[in-house]
Amino acid sequence: MAVNLHRLTVFCTVVETGSLTAAGRQLLLNPSAVSMRLRALEDEVGQRLLQRKHRRLVPTQAGEVVYAYAVQTVRGAQELRRALAELARGERGHLTVGVSVSPVSLILTERLSAFLQQHPHIQFTILADISERLQAMVLQGECDLAFTLALEVRPGLEQVPFYRDDVLLVVSPLHPLFASPRVTVAELLQHRFVTGVQGHAQRRLMDTLLAANGLVGYPVAMELATAHGVRQAALCGAGIGIVVRSTVAADLAEGRLREVQWDHGPLLVEYQLIHRSGPPFSPLLQRVLDFLRPPAT
């Protein structure tokens, strides 16, 4: 049996206040309008729902059954309206976020965690992959948003600048260059390096930056698919690690690695947020982008 939600709300209010007048004040209705809705509800259920005791209106046995049902129904409807309003404001929902396979992505994870502290009804799924594949995943709808290297943006995507980092050469105490205060390019080329996998965007970008500063054709001891792997290999003395600063900041501070000093110009890597362009996207995605967007300088 379908029961009118508004009449259930009126009935609950009368039971909780004990009078037509008090219920009317709360619902912004006059007592006669409250009484009319109660009579209509009793006609719907076919039973008397209220009786007067000690100058208060209290539920009959049938009224107690209806009240227990009505409380759940009214509360559920209120929660539904609240959830839909939160969804429309971007305060509720789910996003899938792609992150590049790099410890640099921890910066984004920290920012998203801070966002969740303010928005407890939002959920993120985080997927890790290389930057090139993340672009395709966003285009195909597998991710709503991705954190990638600042690559050439494909048609159908928009980018938001997010983060910059320095490219460093680092060595562990096990490496012969650890004690050298400063080295030349010629001296660097006498040693082998640990770096990313040939063909990956991060490797190509770092090689371009290094080549612009004279470090071309360096010998490679090990190629690794992740920045964490490059860091670990450098820690173990496998070679000169080519890394970004945020990957090894703690290692540098605690002396596990040392930055190799050599003459070079700026070695900056940029990271971006990408999302699909076109029709307006969801209020939740807009809220997340506004939160993550760096302040204007």
* Crossing angle between the packed helical segments 61-88 and 31-45, to the nearest 10 degrees: 110
Are 245 and 116 found together in one domain?
Answer: no
Are 243 and 193 found together in one domain?
Answer: yes
From 23, 58, 88, give the residue that closes a domain: 88
Are 100 and 80 found together in one domain?
Answer: no
Rounded to the nearest 5°, which phi and psi values hold at 201? -60, -40
Are 208 and 264 found together in one domain?
Answer: yes
- Whether residue 216 is contained in a domain is answered as yes
Outline where DSSP puts E strands in 207-266.
220-224, 240-244, 258-259
Tell me the C-alpha to C-alpha distance, in Å, between residue 208 and each of 53, 133, 215, 216, 293: 87, 21, 9, 9, 28
Burial 41-76 (b: 16+ CB within 10 A, else e): bbebbeeebbeeeeeebebeeebeebbeebeebbee
Are 230 and 101 found together in one domain?
Answer: no
From 70, 88, 106, give the residue that closes a domain: 88
C-alpha–C-alpha distance, residues 104 and 101, integer Å = 8
Average pLDDT of span 98-109: 78
Per residue in 180-226, pLDDT tens? 999 999 999 999 999 999 988 888 889 999 999 999 999 999 999 88
Q: Which domain holds residue 228?
A: 166-269
- Whether residue 199 is contained in a domain is answered as yes
- Whether residue 32 is contained in a domain is answered as yes
- Whether residue 134 is contained in a domain is answered as yes
CATH of the domain at 47: 1.10.10.10
Are 131 and 37 found together in one domain?
Answer: no
From 61, 88, 115, give the residue that closes a domain: 88
Planar angle of CA 222, 225, 229, nearest 5 degrees: 65
Are 171 and 204 found together in one domain?
Answer: yes
Per residue in 10-32, pLDDT tens? 888 988 898 898 888 988 889 88
Average pLDDT of span 50-54: 88
Average per-residue pLDDT for the chain: 88
Average pLDDT of span 162-167: 89
- Whether residue 297 is contained in a domain is answered as no
CATH of the domain at 204: 3.40.190.10
Tally of structural domains, the chain = 3
Q: Which residues pair with 163 in a beta bridge?
A: 271
Are 234 and 117 found together in one domain?
Answer: no
Q: Does residue 98 sit in helix, strand or coil?
A: strand
Are 79 and 209 found together in one domain?
Answer: no
